[in-house]
Structure 1
Amino acid sequence: MSGQTKESLQALLARRKPGHALEAPFYTDQDIFDADMKYIFGQHWIYVGVEPDIAEPGDAMVVNIGKSSVIITRDDDGEVRAFHNVCRHRGARMVPEGKTMIGNIVCPYHSWTYGLDGDLKFAEHMGEDFDPKCRGLKKVAIRSIAGLIFVCLAEEPPEDIEDMARIMEEYLAPHDVRNTRVAFESDLIEMGNWKLTMENNRECYHCGANHPELTIPLFAYGFGYAPGTLDDEGQRDADRYGELAVACHARWEGEGLPSREVEHLDDRITGFRTERLPIDRSGESQTLDTKAACRIPLGGLKDKSVGGLSFWTQPNSWHHFMGDHIVTFTVLPIDAGHTLVRTKWLVHKDAVEGVDYDLQHLTEVWQATNQQDADLVEISQQGADDPSFEPGPYSPYTEGLVEKFSAWYIGRMKAALA
């Protein structure tokens, strides 16, 4: 980053008005996007997938984070490892993006061969003085939290992920992620900046008008509303949610299911939030009929009505854990105006499609919601590109968590440039 670019970005960061949307360059400028990739995605813990993606020894998954490509493997001892997808010979990309099964990591250029532990095992024609011990794959920091995989590209990753792990492992344990499998996965490219994708996720102000499927199981009023603005029916729904949340939290906590809100979205380097939320009607799952989509429950859960455990992480994920299935979301920037949203639906590892679950029933709520959100992100990007764009105020009642995302982002960028 040039000195002039750095000064320009620092000026934008300094004049950001709390409680308001970010200025247009944060969504449109290529230099700021490059800074995001360096200081946000290059320095923080990034959610990339689940252990069932690499369930068996020899399974591998490649995830691209900007210009960086990361190989995630499970070695013969069952340990999960991560390496830069760059050959130590002349730098060739070795494994294509996606999932595969490999006995070794073999560079297709000159056949340098690495074990699943990253050590160089074979390099032909290199001479007697060549020491293979110095040419193993470069490691990437990796941390599995109850089966959710995070990586960090920084040489010194933030240590506070251990605080998040200590709290979240208790919340996630009942859903037993490691004993699930990925029933379906979708990649959706949104026509907008990654921050617009995250901001859209952090509020439900838009839900009532845009998410007819999601608002069947999900209470939109559970994320806030302005007092005195609801009609009688809306106020009854909001009151019903409040009463249900109190009753459900007491019942779930009594059953040993952590449910209370824990919120650290903007006061830690590794920001996160969690809370177990009631599901409407039958209360079982985020489906169109609110009933469980999969016949086999997760973990040792016996009560079908355990709501939906919500888990958000900065800068790039959100998740929903229910009694019968899990939905996880990964956000990976492509360029200033395009973002990949990768969604995975997980069911019990023994569940059989067509016998224990119907794939359409399992996925239809979030398939529809993802596309609706993508459409909203696209028109938001179009607005940010318009010369007349001016940051507007956030709702103090329904967009407080958007403000926390923006405040976290501004704070982390300021710290990086200080």
Structure 2
Amino acid sequence: MLDVTNTPLKALLRRRKKGHSLEAPFYTSPEIFAADMDIIFGHHWIFVGVDPDIPEPGDAMTFDIGKASIIVTRDDDGELRAFHNVCRHRGARLVLDYKTTVGNLVCRYHSWTYGLDGRLLHADHMGEDFNAACHGLKPVHVRSLEGLIFVCLSDDPPKDFDVMAEKMAPYLAPHDLKNAKVAFEKDIIEPGNWKLTMENNRECYHCAGNHPELTVPLFAYGFGFAPEQLDEHEREEADAYARLITSSHREWESCGFPSQMMEHLDDMVTGFRTERLPLAGDGESHTADTKAACTKLLGKINDPRHGALHFWTQPNSWHHFMSDHAVVFSVLPLDAEHSLLRTKWLVHKDAVEGVDYDLANLVGVWEATNDQDSELVGYCQEGARSPAYEPGPYSPHTEMLVDKFCNWYVGRMESHLAGRGED
């Protein structure tokens, strides 16, 4: 077993063996966690919510990325704005609620008042020499990609977000999230390092034995398989699934739904992956009976059988878009061994609960799956603490995308450390 107790981070990164999981300190060390928050979550585009979280001028949403509390607002012109949630007077938090509606942003401590554009509008008793223009809220970069909200804490955010946005906009546009609403959201505190949560998401090797609800609308051969281990019947099934993907992509694209796989998980700073895949059974949605959960479809979609579009972004999100609803996921690290998984279910903004959809049916598959995954992540975290733990090999057939997540993570960490001249 490798002794990593006093090994510098740069050396740990350098000796990472591709095709294998990371060494234990990457999942357990508070020092490496601090580096993750600085380098990964402090310098990359982080998915934090959706436009329907703050649909109207004056709406605001807050969240924490490590020690940073952030406010995202919609200003009077309907534009998104983001700021550090810190009063410029003596540092009090401005907005204390997760979601709220405001006229201006008023600090309850001494009533310093800021506009939705971050300008300081009012500050009593500060003297004649006080320059309000120098004390506006500190801005944070914010972008909406067809209704998905990303922020970047760096002063110099990765510019290739524009590349991702250009490529992804046609895939996302038919689902029209800006004209959807959040039907339900749920937070889970997962008992594991954020990277374990992301690794778990990037494969379905574990799905057949752990996710009875999720596997109902999914085809088994979509999980990955070892061709050399298939018998004749299984090979015919795998070939039939490949033909189904080809024919489905052709049909969907003829209807204006881009579907082909695009994968840039470890060759871009703003890594992402997407593909539209067919669903099993009635083929309509991620539900227990594979039928649409909401009768009012998203956007201007008029056919529920357009499969499920998945969209992943590095470092912290994955999403599923069906014809009738969407499910979006964000992972926000809390400490070295705990992470916040925030899930939101979206339906058409005019859909009525109890009329157009049953909430339990809408959320059932992913609510169960999240609970199951949280337990699995906890098992991995417990194992990483063991003195017997050492990096294990990934399956080349079913875990190649986990490897790409780790490749991206190691590459981004090494790039930043090299740029700073750190060991």
TM-score (norm 1): 0.97
Please give the root-mean-square deviation of Cα atoms over the aligned residues, in Å.
Answer: 1.4
Does residue 71 (structure 1) correspond to residue 71 (structure 2)? The answer is yes
Correspondence for 1:417: 417
SS at match of 2:121: strand
Does residue 175 (structure 1) correspond to residue 175 (structure 2)? The answer is yes
- What displacement does 1:223 show? 3.2
Correspondence for 1:26: 26
Distance (Å, rounded) in 2 between the aligned partners of 1:389 and 1:194? 18
Asked if structure 1 preserves the Cα contact closer than 8 Å seen for 2:183 and 2:345, the reply is yes
Correspondence for 1:323: 323
The one-letter code sitting in structure 1 at the alignment partner of 2:317 is S
Label 1:229 to 1:149 Cα distance change in 2 as closer, same or farther (>3 A).
Answer: same
Asked if structure 1 preserves the Cα contact closer than 8 Å seen for 2:227 and 2:235, the reply is no
Correspondence for 2:185: 185
Distance (Å, rounded) in 2 between the aligned partners of 1:265 and 1:333? 20
**1:157-180 alpha-carbon deviations (Å, 9 max, x no partner):** 000000000011111000001000
Distance (Å, rounded) in 1 between the aligned partners of 2:161 and 2:347? 26
Residues 211-222 of structure 1: pairs in structure 2 closer than 5 A: 211-222=211-222
- What displacement does 1:372 show? 0.5
- What displacement does 1:105 show? 0.8
Distance (Å, rounded) in 1 between the aligned partners of 2:186 and 2:105? 26
- What displacement does 1:300 show? 1.2
**1:271-301 alpha-carbon deviations (Å, 9 max, x no partner):** 0000001111111101011100001011111
- What displacement does 1:220 show? 3.6
Distance (Å, rounded) in 1 between the aligned partners of 2:215 and 2:230? 16
Correspondence for 1:227: 227
The one-letter code sitting in structure 2 at the alignment partner of 1:332 is L
337-346 or 246-255: bigger deviation: 246-255
Correspondence for 1:301: 301
The one-letter code sitting in structure 1 at the alignment partner of 2:326 is I
SS at match of 1:36: helix
- What displacement does 1:121 show? 0.7
Distance (Å, rounded) in 2 between the aligned partners of 1:102 and 1:7? 49
Does residue 17 (structure 1) correspond to residue 17 (structure 2)? The answer is yes
Label 1:161 to 1:334 Cα distance change in 2 as closer, same or farther (>3 A).
Answer: same
Distance (Å, rounded) in 2 between the aligned partners of 1:343 and 1:68? 21
Correspondence for 1:336: 336
Work out the percentage of aligned pairs sharing the same amino acid: 66
**1:66-106 alpha-carbon deviations (Å, 9 max, x no partner):** 10011000011111100000110111111125111111111
Residues 239-318 of structure 1: pairs in structure 2 closer than 5 A: 239-318=239-318
Correspondence for 1:39: 39
SS at match of 1:409: helix
Distance (Å, rounded) in 1 between the aligned partners of 2:333 and 2:212? 28
The one-letter code sitting in structure 1 at the alignment partner of 2:345 is W
Correspondence for 1:195: 195
Correspondence for 2:421: none
Asked if structure 2 preserves the Cα contact closer than 8 Å seen for 1:140 and 1:151, the reply is yes
Correspondence for 1:148: 148
Label 1:311 to 1:341 Cα distance change in 2 as closer, same or farther (>3 A).
Answer: same
SS at match of 2:228: coil
Does residue 397 (structure 1) correspond to residue 402 (structure 2)? The answer is no
397-406 or 85-94: bigger deviation: 85-94
Asked if structure 2 preserves the Cα contact closer than 8 Å seen for 1:213 and 1:369, the reply is yes
Correspondence for 1:90: 90
Asked if structure 2 preserves the Cα contact closer than 8 Å seen for 1:64 and 1:97, the reply is no
SS at match of 1:228: helix
Distance (Å, rounded) in 2 between the aligned partners of 1:296 and 1:6? 58
Distance (Å, rounded) in 1 between the aligned partners of 2:265 and 2:280? 26
Correspondence for 1:372: 372
Label 1:190 to 1:224 Cα distance change in 2 as closer, same or farther (>3 A).
Answer: same
Distance (Å, rounded) in 1 between the aligned partners of 2:315 and 2:138? 24
Does residue 129 (structure 1) correspond to residue 163 (structure 2)? The answer is no
Distance (Å, rounded) in 1 between the aligned partners of 2:105 and 2:405? 38
Asked if structure 2 preserves the Cα contact closer than 8 Å seen for 1:204 and 1:220, the reply is no
